Structure 1
Amino acid sequence: MTTPETQGAATEDPVPSRAPDAWAIIQAGRIVDVSMHRPRAPGDAGWDYYRRRGFSAPQPLWLGFNDLSPGVVAGLLERQRQITVEGFSAERDDQYTGGQLLKAAAVYLLKAAGLATLRVLPYWPWERSWLKPGDSQRNLEKAFALLVAEMDRRARSESREKSDPSA
């Protein structure tokens, strides 16, 4: 029976019963990273080291990615990290019309493939300091995120062209 008190009330628990998809890592009150693995938290060995450096308890994130593979989730989380932590944006990505996002993705893919002996720097489209290769998995995540950025950039460009054919 529905009463005025229960009408419109949420029927689902606001916090999912499953494990979080990711964790927001917070330092000095702002998100500084996003991790797929549970980071150190209060009560864990070594937490005092992080607390002294201004870290707060990591916040769980439920992103609604239930049906996506872990690899896709990792790539999407990396893209979100690039936006949230590194400050990238659609407006900034829209400036890269010369294939820079694709070239950067290609460099990370070559690194992920273990072709470190290949000279990839000539293909890197930006300052050398922006290239931050990690292990093979992290390189794949970065490449995925850059490909998503390029696909989104192209979709926005096509949308603008359709709405303003004279542009």
Structure 2
Amino acid sequence: MPFPLRPLIAATLVVSLMPLLGCSKPETSGPAQAGFDALVTSCTQFLADRAPHVRPGGSGEWTKTGYSPALLKPELSRTESPVTPYVGKIVVKDNEAQATATTQAAAEAVTLTPAHLLSNRTHTFVYSFDGKTWRWQNGQLLTKIPGHNDTTVALTLADVSAMGPKGFIGCLPR
């Protein structure tokens, strides 16, 4: 390419890319980012601290249920709304395993393995930030059980804030 055309092509590229420079939304920072980071840390710790639990079954047996280490994926986005300038989403993927035994002691002694897989689960939690605090908005649970149809269930705040092994209280804003 002749030398005189190079500056012209460079100028054309710069001018054609200029509209793209301002099209991205500003990066999140400040209280929204700090609060969401704290929420993600709390949720991560809560999930890491889960332990298998043993409960009596319906016909005299005992059931041990446990969860694999969770894969947690947070997303934080700026919106165009002055009322809700940020939204956040946390997706939690884990596996649920279950085994039964005739006695409580036998159930507690079971080491859960992939052979005990009950389901693959994906929990999705959505949050909004009003400029001051984060609030839980909604959630859903997608369950995949081998040999069955996938199920999706809407989660309520009561479901997520429940105490015990079914709840996700550590994934709620404080």
* Shared fold per TM-score greater than 0.5: no
As a proportion of its length, which structure holds more strand?
2
Decide which structure has the larger Cα Rg and report it.
Answer: 2
Q: TM-score, normalised by structure 2?
A: 0.26
As a proportion of its length, which structure holds more helix?
1
Q: TM-score, normalised by structure 1?
A: 0.26
